[in-house]
Amino acid sequence: MNDFERLLRDSLRRAGNDYSPADPDAARERFLARRRGRRIRLVLSGVGVAGATAAVAALFFLASDPEVPEPQRLPPAASTEKATVTATIPTGDEPSGVAAGAGFVWVANSGAETVSQIDPATQQVLVTFTVRGGPDDVAVTDNTVWVTTGRGALWRLEPGDDEFRELPDRLGIGGISGHLDVAAEGSDLFVQVEDGPLVVVDDSAGSTPQRYEVAGEATDVAVHGDVVWVYERSEERVARFDRATGDRLGATPVGDAASQDLAATDGYGWFFRGSDATLIQIRAEDGVAVSEVPMKGSFGAISAGADGVWVMTASSSSGEGNLYRVGSDRAEKIDAPVLLGGLPYDVVATPEGIWITNHSGGTVTRLDLTPIDAPAPEQAPDVQVLFYYSTGEDIFAYRTDGSTEPVAAGPGLEMVPALSPSGKTLVYQEQPSGERSRIMLRALEDDVYPAGTHETLLEGEWPALSPTGELAWVEPGDTGTATTIGVGPIASEPRAEVEVPQQAGVPPTVTRLTWADSGERLLFEAEFEDHSLYSVEVPGSPDEAPVATPLPGARAGEVLTSPAVHPEVGTTAIRLCCGSYPEWEFTSAELSLITDDGFETVVGLDDLGITPGFSMFAAPAGRLDYEEASGWSNGSTPSWFVGDGEKLFLVNSSREPQSVPLAGVTALAVVPGAPSDD
């Protein structure tokens, strides 16, 4: 105990000793009287609690917060996929706009004054059409390919035509020549005349175009579903219109863009702001800017994809391109930089690949995505190391010969070691003195991260790595109570966040986070006055909100703790019996498999000499086996490490628990594949 701790002790004892409760005799009488009458009062208070609960629920309903939240900053994480150039196709001078439709990829070659029709199956240019006036953008409706030119003209190619034809009066749009931006969906072509009107043309009806009343000088248009999006440049905002009626729905400030692009997907509009290379995601429902994704580059183009948007950015000086994939709550930078054959200019995503025009190279590039080779889990990094463990203050590696060496042993607390699927990356929780808990990464081998990598990832607690290497962590709370779980690739902002349900308005403390074997489900323990285990399906789609649901409950008087997933067995928990808040009077413990129907006992834990309690943990240990005489080996039965923060055992269902000669272990991560058969 240091001087500061002594000061704490003396101050608190002085406070306690300076006080004496008033009239203990009267209190005793009240206590005995109340105890005798408690049954009656319990019934009455039950009514009171029900009434109070209803009142609280009503207040909560009335007090829902109408404030607009700040956009979430969503820095892109490194993707697990890389882009590979699978074709580079010459199209003509200065290829500009690119679009997909009618089974083909269409490229407007501004300098060559042509439009190229490409078959994505063969990656060959089938036809080259002449379009005078510098074709710069292209869009495809159900029956027509539309091309705009730098001189403000509109050209169309209809089925059966063998050439593009210019519309003499721009389909009645009128006005002087000026840049046109086009967007297409179904049979509708939306044309935004720069600093002029927005019109919609039905390619099958040939009717007089419908006009939308945009405000200010508008330059860009996008459409999806019921909503049409327009960038009103002079007002520095993105406006939304009802597609059916043309009614203005609202507008969202997006700032000065310098250069920009606009796209739309289910429920969202996406605006690329070139001034600071930021993608802004706007919710169609209410116009709220829900996220901002900072990117690299000075120029960008967006293409709507199946589950989000693709963003290509470029540096106008180097001609180097970057490719991003952004969903509603996840942003990835595809293995970059993507070196293209000239200034990247426009992008379109198709099922057959990502197509990017190279303005100065005279080509269009097709990119396909392939997974970045992941290290095989069976390649154990160091067969000499069996596991990493925390004593609650430092993290050590444990070797087959029984020796240990410190891996993370700073002046603060290092806890909760977690290993990547390959076993080559260790993440853990560090609590430096005077600072908040943070999650650290240390490269154990050098082929995933640079040699010697040891860095802070983010603030948080209880890190867990999924079978695919995705990180989950408990986000730090403002009041010391952490109640939110973040999920995302390493070194990213969370792509999903799980709010843990409260009990009677009281937030829990979330602990013991772990992934299920599939990498799609999380388990954790929530400490209220009581304890509960929860399961969370982590959605693949950004539109789905993750929801925590309680694991099947234990029987009355039982409490489940320390959820874990053994790859060969399934989800387990330590089942403590019997007690209830506040009198947890546990006398027995067992490791139980959680099944659809309840529980199956894996192994009883009563003979370990551990007092059953919440300090117990069970960590999957593969098939590790241990005997004091012969040491460590691969066994034939799935096994677990079980401890209570003081003693540690290796247990399985086929033999007596083996005491492991380590003291004070509070958490543990086993190296995949250890020990080696070699």
Partner 1 sequence: MATTILEGGVSVVGRAENERDRAIAALFDRHYAPMCRLAYVILGDAGLAEEIVMEALIKTFSGWSRIRDVSRADAYLRRAVVNLCRSKIRRKTIEARVNAVSYRRAERNAPDWDPESHETSRLVWAAVRGLPERQRACVVLRYFEDLPEGQIADVLGCSVGTVKSQLSKARAKLEKSLGTSVIGGTQ
Site residues for partner 1, 615-634, by CB under 8 A, read 615, 617
Binding to partner 1 (CB under 8 A): which residues in 514-573?
527, 529-531
In contact, 665 and 643? CB cutoff 8 Å: yes
Binding to partner 1 (CB under 8 A): which residues in 75-114?
none
- The reply to whether 511 sits near partner 1 by the rule CB under 8 A is yes
Report DSSP state, residue 529. S
Closest distance to partner 1 from the beta carbon of 23 (Å):
9
Q: Which two tokens stand for residue 384?
A: 């000499």
Cα separation values, 368 from 37, 45, 313, 362, 504, Å = 76, 66, 17, 20, 51
Please, what is the angle between helix 24-36 and helix 38-62, to 10°?
90
Find the angle CA(73)-CA(75)-CA(79) to the nearest 5 degrees: 145
Applying CB under 8 A, among 256, 447, 646, 656 the residue interacting with partner 1 is 646
Segment contacting partner 1 (CB under 8 A): 308-316, 358-366, 380-388, 429-437? Answer: 429-437
Segment contacting partner 1 (CB under 8 A): 146-154, 183-191, 359-367, 425-433? Answer: 425-433
Binding to partner 1 (CB under 8 A): which residues in 38-67?
38
3 state DSSP class of 285: coil
Closest distance to partner 1 from the beta carbon of 38 (Å):
5
- The reply to whether 373 sits near partner 1 by the rule CB under 8 A is no
C-alpha 357 chain-centroid distance: 30
Query: Which of 134, 96, 99 minimizes the C-alpha distance to 362?
Result: 96
- The reply to whether 644 sits near partner 1 by the rule CB under 8 A is yes
3-state SS, one letter per residue, for 462-528:
EEEECCCCCEEEEECCCCCCCCEEEEECCCCCCCEEEECCCECCECCEEEEEEECCCCCEEEEEEEC
Smaller CB separation from partner 1, 312 or 669: 669
C-alpha 236 chain-centroid distance: 30
Applying CB under 8 A, among 351, 371, 582, 661 the residue interacting with partner 1 is 582
C-alpha 530 chain-centroid distance: 29
Smaller CB separation from partner 1, 455 or 585: 585
Binding to partner 1 (CB under 8 A): which residues in 479-498?
479-481
- The reply to whether 165 sits near partner 1 by the rule CB under 8 A is no
Applying CB under 8 A, among 158, 161, 276, 435 the residue interacting with partner 1 is 435
In contact, 262 and 269? CB cutoff 8 Å: yes
Alpha carbon distance 613, 539 (integer Å): 34
| Residues that contact partner 1, how many (by CB under 8 A) | 73
Q: Which two tokens stand for residue 666?
A: 């509070």
Segment contacting partner 1 (CB under 8 A): 163-171, 273-281, 351-359, 612-620? Answer: 612-620
Segment contacting partner 1 (CB under 8 A): 281-289, 389-397, 547-555, 592-600? Answer: 389-397
Segment contacting partner 1 (CB under 8 A): 106-114, 240-248, 407-415, 534-542? Answer: 407-415
Closest distance to partner 1 from the beta carbon of 15 (Å):
5
Instruction: Label the pairing between strands 509-515 and 521-527.
Output: antiparallel
- The reply to whether 428 sits near partner 1 by the rule CB under 8 A is no
Alpha carbon distance 577, 613 (integer Å): 9
Smaller CB separation from partner 1, 174 or 505: 505
Smaller CB separation from partner 1, 64 or 479: 479
Binding to partner 1 (CB under 8 A): which residues in 230-259?
none
237-242 β-sheet, strand order:
218-224, 227-232, 237-242, 248-253
In contact, 414 and 393? CB cutoff 8 Å: yes
Closest distance to partner 1 from the beta carbon of 649 (Å):
16
Applying CB under 8 A, among 261, 461, 558, 625 the residue interacting with partner 1 is 461
Alpha carbon distance 602, 112 (integer Å): 73
Segment contacting partner 1 (CB under 8 A): 130-138, 243-251, 390-398, 464-472? Answer: 390-398
- The reply to whether 416 sits near partner 1 by the rule CB under 8 A is yes
Binding to partner 1 (CB under 8 A): which residues in 7-36?
7-17, 19-22, 24, 27-28, 30-32, 34-35
Applying CB under 8 A, among 208, 453, 587, 654 the residue interacting with partner 1 is 587
Place of tokens 């990598």: 453
Smaller CB separation from partner 1, 368 or 527: 527
Smaller CB separation from partner 1, 344 or 507: 507
